[in-house]
Amino acid sequence: MALSLLGSSSSFVWGTPSLGRPCYSCNMANNDFEHYKGWAVDLAIDLVNTAATDDDRLAHAGDVAELLARHHVAARRRATDDDATHLRAVRGQLRAVMDADDIAQAAPSLNSLAAEGGCTPRLSNHDGHDWHLDHHIPGDLLWRHVAAECAAGLMDFVLRHSPRRLRSCAASDCSRYFADRTRNASARFCPQRGCANRTRVRRHRQAREL
């Protein structure tokens, strides 16, 4: 049963991992689901942000390996240049989701990613972990592995919140995306680069010069 977004009224809820022993390439055990949801969204955002600078940080196999290592993805294959090529296409689809105004706009890209990644939930207890939900096909190509996990996490996110909470930083010198997890959806700057402080300082200096 492959998953897809059928419309904005869907009640789809995606399983996610626990905060226990790390197994970040899949939904973890103990029915603590929130961590996986956040992890998969962060993976998708990091993937999109590999294009946020002049230098493409998804140009070859080494870049893919670094991306997976940053998010502790337990992959059974080595990254290849072909994975990098496909993940750049995945990156474009993920960016389309993050630029969407509503679920109707986000759904085609998410459904496509889910299909391309073979995103199908199944129970697994591999590698000594407790029972949990996996979303990728074991041993599959790395780019499909990543596409499946990102599709799963973002489907849940946009249905629980809105694609509008996936946004680009408001700082004039930053083009990175982030997930607004504030209660009132008020975040405007990416949280880890000091963009909000730099913008406030810049505006303060400009005001003093007037």
For residues 14-23, average pLDDT: 34
Percent of all residues in the chain with a pLDDT value above 90, rounded to a whole number: 51
What is the structure's pLDDT at 18?
Answer: 31
Residues 30, 34, 39, 44, CA torsion sign: positive
Convert the pLDDT of each residue in 147-179 to its tens digit. Answer: 999 999 999 999 999 999 999 999 988 999 999
Query: How crowded is residue 31: how many other Cβ atoms within 10 Å of its Cβ?
Result: 13
One-letter identity of residue 152: A
Which residues share a beta bridge with 208?
none
What is the structure's pLDDT at 23?
Answer: 46
Contacts of 31 (CB under 8 A, 6+ apart): 18
- What phi, psi does 72 have (nearest 5°)? 55, 40
Convert the pLDDT of each residue in 135-150 to its tens digit. Answer: 888 889 999 999 999 9
Residue 187 belongs to domain spanning:
169-210
The verdict on 210 and 118 lying in the same domain is no
Q: What is the CATH number of the domain that holds 105?
A: 1.10.3300.10
> Which residue's structure tokens are 């869907």?
10
- What phi, psi does 154 have (nearest 5°)? -75, -30
19 is a domain residue: yes
Give the span between the Cα atoms of 152 and 98, in whole angstroms. 14
State both tokens at 92: 């474009």
9 is a domain residue: no
Burial class of residue 144 (count of CB atoms within 10 Å of its CB; 0-12, 13-18, 19+): buried
What pTM value is reported for the model?
Answer: 0.79
> Which residue's structure tokens are 């700057």?
189
Task: Tally the domains of the chain.
Answer: 2
Burial class of residue 137 (count of CB atoms within 10 Å of its CB; 0-12, 13-18, 19+): middle
Strands (DSSP E) found in 17-131:
122-124
The verdict on 174 and 91 lying in the same domain is no
The verdict on 29 and 61 lying in the same domain is yes
Residue 92 gets which letter from DSSP? H
What is the structure's pLDDT at 24?
Answer: 44
One-letter identity of residue 76: R
